[in-house]
Amino acid sequence: MKNIITAFLFCVAMTTTNALADNLLDSVCKPVIEQDQIPSVSKKRLTIGGYGEAVASRMFYSNNYKRYTDAAKYADAKGFGQVDLPHVVLFIGYDFGKGWSMGSEIEFEHGGTESAVEIEEEETGEYESEIERGGEVALEQFWLQKSFSSAINIRAGHLVVPVGGTNYGHMPTEFFTVYRPEGENTIMPCTWHETGISIWGRTSQWRYEAMFIAGLDADRFNNKNWIHGASGSPYEFKMATAYAGAVRIDNFSVKGLRLSLSGYLGNSANNTLNSTGKYEGLHGTVAIGAFDFLYDNHNLVARGNFDYGHLSNSLEITNANMASRKDSPSPKNSVAEAAIAMGVEAGYDIFAHIQAMRSREQKLYLFGRYDYYDSMYKTVANMTDEQQWGRQKITFGFNYYPIKQVVVKGEWSNRIFKKQYNNESTVSLGIAYNGLFKL
């Protein structure tokens, strides 16, 4: 099965500057909305917007740190509840004229300052103070852009890396589930943002983007989330001894359908503060290939993704991280040679058949989703394959849009593990908005 999936992945392989207002929004919202959906107006230069989510959940499983190492003991747990603000984001963009524009996006994750205390799901159950990124808030985007036409734009600064379907469309109106799709959001940074430079453009049927950016930090790899935490830095700066490239190509030839390929390649082993000696001679090359699609027509919305990632020197990086000082920010556990995520969701707007709702432009999607993901999909010899990190998830729910910019979401989901572990079912309810305003 693993060989078949791996083989499948590797087989998948102009207007002028008067379009600047569209390009500004496309730069900011890409990978969020398609350019042909952006209203053409405007000599207004300031753009303000953002998005936000509030969620309440009830989990019908134990949150004890030993629930995987001693699963039988927690099979009949009563569960627990939680409330959350997954993302609250403020965007400001400005068109300076003569092809120059800027964009910035400040994100508050989980209503806090990106520092947290967690109980590690390992043998000890220690309380761990975790700093995901230096500073009090996350600066998700900050860039300056020169637009020569809608087909050629150069952007430099702190940029979203559009690898995978979720990084391409990460606003809450761009996926059905209450939280971001779990597979990609587990194995890769999400939303993934790095400092660098990119060239991007859009024609009638194609969009492309190529980036040169800082590489990932091997200190931050782990077993549960593979490279997820390696984009951020716990310091006041981001190490950039190693660099990386990312590319994305989207095709819009068929009405209502987008087909996309994206990829990432870069070294990570010498991108840490302690690279001398600890990772000497190692590359720690991260290679990711991804395919995703969106179909939106005839009252049906369907999305899907397939992502495969490979890490060289995974055993050496694991050994180096486990030997880190106790006060090191490294998670200090195993990291796999390969990780995988695949998912598909589809929803149908039943209000399309009710005249009163259709006339008010209200929508009600009933949807289902399936995910399979494994952050330890392939491990090298002499490394334990921790099988609790190979998971499936099924989700059923609804998305109600009273207006285009606001959505109310509800869902039931069940995370399915191998038989020696307990499945994890959850009921969640959320509300979110997404809007951009020209001033």
- Checking if the pLDDT of 20 tops 70, the result is no
Q: Which amino acid is at 37?
A: Q
With a pLDDT cut of 70, the percent of the chain lying above it is: 83
Region of poorest pLDDT, from 196-200, 215-219, 297-301: 215-219
Residues 6 or more apart whose CB falls under 8 angstroms from that of 419 comprise none
Beta strands at 100-109 and 127-131: parallel, antiparallel or unpaired: unpaired
Confidence grade of residue 325 (pLDDT, cut at 50, 70, 90):
confident
Higher pLDDT, 254 or 323: 254
Contact 49, 125 (CB under 8 A): no
Per-residue CA distances from 53 to 64, 108, 261, 381 (Å): 27, 11, 28, 43
- Checking if the pLDDT of 393 tops 70, the result is yes
Mean pLDDT along residues 344-364:
96
Question: For the chain, what are the domain ranges?
Answer: 2-438
- Checking if the pLDDT of 254 tops 90, the result is yes
Q: State the pLDDT at residue 154.
A: 98
Mean pLDDT along residues 174-193:
95
Q: Which of 366, 410, 318 is nearest to 58 (CA)?
A: 410
Mean pLDDT along residues 177-185:
96
Q: State the pLDDT at residue 31.
A: 39
In this structure, CATH architecture of domain 2-438: Beta Barrel (2.40)
Region of poorest pLDDT, from 2-11, 401-410, 424-433: 2-11
Q: State the pLDDT at residue 25.
A: 47
Confidence grade of residue 102 (pLDDT, cut at 50, 70, 90):
very high
Instruction: Compute the C-alpha angle 185/167/241, nearest 5°.
Output: 90
User: Which pTM value belongs to this model?
Assistant: 0.85
Pull the structure tokens for residue 19.
């379009």
Contact 91, 28 (CB under 8 A): yes
- Checking if the pLDDT of 12 tops 70, the result is no
Mean pLDDT along residues 3-19:
40
- Checking if the pLDDT of 197 tops 50, the result is yes
First to last CA, the chain: 53
Q: Note the helical H segments in 346-398.
A: 355-359
Q: State the pLDDT at residue 235.
A: 76
Write the pLDDT tens digit of every residue in 32-56. 333 333 333 346 799 999 999 999 9
